[in-house]
A and B are shown apart, each in its own frame.
Chain A
């Protein structure tokens, strides 16, 4: 019974990722796509946690931390690129 509920939750997370993929493809502007990509990453973290509970293993818990950090850095760099047009600024004093 517990396994069925976990599979249902995993299916619902998959539906959420699919809906955000619609926004990722269709989105009219670039910040829409950045927000959708951030949501996909966050939902993927939850899906990995559910898989880890479902298989009752602790091997995937590192992947949760790494994926959270990578999603955050990706969103930050996307927003900086959208705002300024460059990622790495070189200061020219001369």
Chain B
């Protein structure tokens, strides 16, 4: 009976993984897709490894240090990887989705281009007036 804890945890992990994959298909943007890919995929792999750990602990009485190391490693490194990919995407100018409202980082990172664009616009307006 108590083995069903581990099996149920593994089943819940697989359902969360499918939901995360559906989010990766349907979301419109790199930045929103990385939400679905990093957070819920990390939750699913943590629950799955924890289920395997509980299963080996309950059936064999075997506490697996390797599984614990895997859990800690995935828990530490998955947010770092998601953050780095998002940063690389923004710096290589992958465009945001069309329905996103505002972009404050653009004026900080690419300020020279923004000023350039504004100056062009001012000159154009000036030409139209004169």
Contacts and interface: CB of A to CB of B under 8 A. Distances in A.
Interface of A: 2, 5-6, 8-10, 12-13, 15-17, 19-20, 22-23, 29-32, 34-36, 38-39, 42-43, 45-46, 49-50, 52-53, 56, 58, 61-62, 64-65, 68-69, 72, 75-76, 78-80, 82-83
A interface secondary structure, majority: helix
Nearest to A10: B14
B17 A68 contact: no
A-B residue pairs, 3 tightest by C-beta: A19-B21, A31-B89, A12-B14
A20 B18 CA distance: 10
B86 A42 contact: no
B103 to A, nearest CB: 17
A56 B6 CA distance: 13
Given A43-B45, A65-B69, A75-B84, A2 B18 contact: no
B24 A46 contact: no
7 contacts: A5-B11, A20-B21, A38-B38, A43-B41, A46-B49, A65-B66, A69-B73
